[in-house]
Structure 1
Amino acid sequence: MQLDLFREIIVDNFAGGGGASTGIEMATGLSVDIAINHDPAAIAMHKANHPDTEHYCEDVWDVDPKKVVRGRKVGLCWLSPDCTHHSKARGGKPRKKNIRGLAWIAVRWAIAVKPRVIILENVEEFKEWGPLDDSGMPIKDAKGRTFYSFVDSLKSLGYQVEWRELTACDYGAPTKRKRLFMIARCDGRPIVWAKPTHGDPKSKEVLTGKLLPWRTTAEIIDWSLPCPSIFERKRPLAENTMRRIARGMQKFVINNPKPFIVRIGHTGFGGDRLQYEIDKPLTTITTKAEHCLVTPFISTYYTETTENGVRGQNVQEPLHTVSTANRFSLVTAFIAKHYGGGYTGAGTGMTEPLSTVTTVDHNALVMAFLTKYYGSDIGQALDDPIHTITTKDRFGLVKVKGQNHQIVDIGMRMLQPHELFPAQGFPERYIIDRDYEGNKYTKTAQIARCGNAVPPPFADALVRANCPELCYRSAAIAN
């Protein structure tokens, strides 16, 4: 391959499945030139989506910057070192010094090939990087000591350095993922922090048209997928999971003055027959299936009930006899958090961005199925003594546009990879189910790549702001 020694190249260290590389390509119009990662599975996904990139499946410390650059100037070096041993999500577990120290690779590249711009991404706690005690726990009185030594090292090499916390939903990704970004440059030009393009729908900036509203969880949900009842599982849900679902039902359905509603028509459920509100973004996505979807079934107003006491049918079954009366009603949904430990929150509304996607099944989509509450034929009047309480607590009341509705079932399913990748801000065309040789990925592997990925809109915005010359040049080449 003939090298252009006059063209600045772009390097993606810790490239993973390609989140940062994809965002850089969105900005520049070209694939990154070099991608480095120690994980063969991550490199395989990266190759499938960035075939023109030079890939190095090696430990970052084993890669000699001068050898791989081969005399070319580096315009941008992106780094996303492992964050797990900085993150508060690790709780009280010991940290590993060698993993926390991966960021020092930035200084090695700065010494060896002097990238003009360096951008580093990590968790918010990265700025608390300091020494560990003998048990592997951070020394409280020394928080931030190593971080500032790291910054001083870059400054001593001629770089100006700044850092900020940014949230992905402010840049067009339907997720609340928040990350710390550090920008260092040595070309004398100012560091530029990309201005948000999206904001809270209730904010002055959005209401006056200066910003677009956050994208929402509802946008990325595949509403055509079945969502089984939580009451008909072969293995009952854990007690803590049921409590979290109950808290979400209380907040987002029963006590919500404006519940998120999916309409169900006579002809069935799915496709363009669905109408729903979508005015907020999705929460953060992690490396494992942490988001579940709860969806509706069709509820009817027949006087007879099924053997399990529920009036209605599954949305996957043929529709029951359609009469002249409107027998089908509404569904409302929210995201339930299935964190272990002491999480006690209610979850997230469907009109907000999705929370961070992690390596564990943390988030589930829960949907409550509602029917009009007419009285004793399908329930009871509000001023009557409550009817007999069964062993399966399926019922509750919610007011929708001034009318009472009865909750007749709750469905739940985990979010799928093809929903989580768009939540991170990946383009629809991104290949997530197979590698560059056509080998299939498991669902677990897909979610791991997704959760570890940098939301592409972050990289897109920061590269456009700080390296416009690379973007203009690439756009001209692409045309």
Structure 2
Amino acid sequence: MTIDLFAGGGGASVGIEKALGRPVSLALNHNPYAVALHAVNHPKTRHICQDIETADPIKATRGRPVFLLWASPSCTQFSRGRHALPAERQLREMGWRVLDWVRATRPVVVCMENVVEYLKWGPLNADGYPIREREGETWNAFVQAFRDLGYSIDWTRLNAADCGAPTARHRLFVQARRDGHPIRWPEPTHGPQTGRPWKRTADFLDWSQEAPSIFNRKKDLVPATMERIFQGFERFIVNDPDPYIAPPEAKISRNDNVDLVSAFLTQNNTGMVGRDVRQPLSTLTSKACNQSLVLAYMTRLRNNAVGSSLGDPLATICASGAHHAEIRVSAYAIKYYSEGGVLQDLRQPVGTITTRDRFAVVTIHGNDYVVSDIGFRFLTDRELFDLQGFNRDFLEGREYQIDLIANGKPLTGKQKKLMVGNSVAPPAAAAVVSAAVAPYSDESFSLPLAA
């Protein structure tokens, strides 16, 4: 058998099936919506909707021998983002439940995935916070428990982008085995040292999705979001000599005369500006809402005009009156940058006056453009799944189903984001399992099924 504990939306299962060429035998998860999503996409897998705390490994496996057990216990109790909150002891102890399954079913190979901070697993104080002086103490006991059961064990840190996923997700991977074969880890297939570039976020975005203007919304974007947008605008468009230009289908601004659309990603975390869409997506969290797309709609200035100072005479006014652009920071930028805009100091003279407000001038490949609008939107559920690795490229043309009815109701966006944010990136899981089962690619090897 092959088993996926904490199966969730199915990232590990997709990777396992890719590596082995056959369905996962058993998937366990306590969330009925996750089980429903997994079942739609893995119809040949037997599903158990039950908490691992109460599930009986022997009954679940029906006594059959287990070759591979994959487990990705809750990472929220160990991630850096939780340091200000007390831990939930039950979730923090899920690793021991995995060991219960290992002890009961004696799998040949065990693979685990978690955040890198899992290595700091240690005891908690009376208030529920980790005792810093005892970091790693519980992890060392956990490792020793595997060795006491006759397993060799090793661990490493892998980036999903190195395995061909369009997301830069750094995670801890653990491998334990009792067959005497050495533990192997996958070599990077993508990245600077491989001759194959990382997969780009841009290639998995739906450019036809509308990005509403950041201005004149019914409900203003919060100041922190506006600040990140303008900082990203400065870094990825104004100061980038070669900003990313979106494909033609991205021209859905309210303006009729858009010539170019430039794009970048904001990172909705404190202290982070954003990301170039030519890079892999940053790590998705359990809420999967930290990444947003920003589009700058740009119109080329006539005859490469560069404007003039307010102290100079106004250039010739054409009949349309549309060839003069005011180069100023918008009212929104003024509101959130009272000491001066990102693009120019508000205490300095502005550029040429016009009848229409413009945002800024950007020079791209020697041509000057005015930015007439800025769009902002969150990534869609489909984009998030594709970027995590559940895409047609990896699935060889098959589309991972995420729109389904569960318990008589459509799966909500919040539920989908929870599943994709908590999932294992399928290409990373496939790479780890492929390396783990490499000794068995030769039929002369036999499986050590006896306990």
Q: What TM-score, normalized by structure 2, do the two folds share?
A: 0.83
Deviation of 1:263 (Å): 5.2
Aligned 8 A contact 2:286 2:420 in 1: no
Aligned 8 A contact 1:216 1:350 in 2: yes
Matching residue within 427, 433, 455 for 2:403: 433
Match of 1:282 in 2: none
Deviation of 1:394 (Å): 4.9
Match of 1:226 in 2: 210
Post-superposition CA distance 1:364-419 (Å, at most 9, x none): 1001111223346232699x9523789x9851222211222222110011110111
Match of 2:165 in 1: 173
Q: Given the superposition, is the C-alpha separation of residues 91 and 388 from structure 1 closer, same or farther in structure 2, using an over 3 Å criterion? A: farther
Match of 1:156 in 2: 148
Indicate whether 1:97 and 2:97 are aligned: no
Aligned 8 A contact 1:11 1:32 in 2: yes
Instruction: Provide the rounded CA distance (Å) in 2 between the counterparts of 1:250 and 1:72.
Output: 60
Partner of 2:237, secondary structure, is helix
Which residue identity is paired with 2:94?
L
Range 24-33 or range 59-68, more displaced: 59-68
Partner of 1:138, secondary structure, is coil
Match of 1:281 in 2: none
Partner of 1:74, secondary structure, is coil
Matching residue within 100, 116, 120 for 1:124: 116
After TM superposition, the structure 1 = structure 2 runs for residues 186-225 of structure 1, keeping only pairs within 5 Å, are 186-199=178-191, 203=192, 205=193, 210-225=194-209
Post-superposition CA distance 1:15-51 (Å, at most 9, x none): 1111100111111121110111111111111111111
Aligned 8 A contact 1:176 1:354 in 2: yes
Aligned 8 A contact 2:121 2:138 in 1: yes
Matching residue within 273, 277, 292 for 1:364: 292
Instruction: Provide the rounded CA distance (Å) in 1 between the counterparts of 2:236 and 2:6.
Output: 39
Aligned 8 A contact 2:327 2:359 in 1: no
Indicate whether 1:334 and 2:334 are aligned: no
Aligned 8 A contact 1:28 1:471 in 2: no
Q: Given the superposition, is the C-alpha separation of residues 472 and 443 from structure 1 closer, same or farther in structure 2, using an over 3 Å criterion? A: farther
Instruction: Provide the rounded CA distance (Å) in 2 between the counterparts of 1:138 and 1:418.
Output: 37
Indicate whether 1:13 and 2:1 are aligned: no
Partner of 2:147, secondary structure, is helix
Q: Given the superposition, is the C-alpha separation of residues 252 and 232 from structure 1 closer, same or farther in structure 2, using an over 3 Å criterion? A: same
Which residue identity is paired with 1:370?
M
Partner of 1:335, secondary structure, is strand
Partner of 1:98, secondary structure, is helix
Q: What TM-score, normalized by structure 1, do the two folds share?
A: 0.79
Matching residue within 422, 427, 430 for 1:457: 427
Aligned 8 A contact 1:29 1:471 in 2: no
Instruction: Provide the rounded CA distance (Å) in 1 between the counterparts of 2:283 and 2:20.
Output: 27
| Aligned residue pairs, count | 398
Match of 1:290 in 2: none
Percent sequence identity is 42
Instruction: Provide the rounded CA distance (Å) in 2 between the counterparts of 1:381 and 1:100.
Output: 54
Matching residue within 349, 365, 369 for 1:401: 365
Matching residue within 223, 234, 242 for 1:239: 223
Match of 1:248 in 2: 232
Range 31-40 or range 101-110, more displaced: 101-110
Post-superposition CA distance 1:341-382 (Å, at most 9, x none): xx1222111111111122343221001111223346232699
Matching residue within 19, 24, 27 for 1:27: 19
Which residue identity is paired with 2:299?
T
Aligned 8 A contact 1:296 1:410 in 2: no
Residue ranges of structure 1 left out of the alignment (5+ in a row): 1-8, 265-269, 271-294, 299-312, 315-319, 321-326, 474-479
Which residue identity is paired with 2:389?
G
Matching residue within 69, 73, 82 for 1:81: 73
Deviation of 1:95 (Å): 0.5
Instruction: Provide the rounded CA distance (Å) in 2 between the counterparts of 1:107 and 1:446.
Output: 29
Which residue identity is paired with 2:244?
F
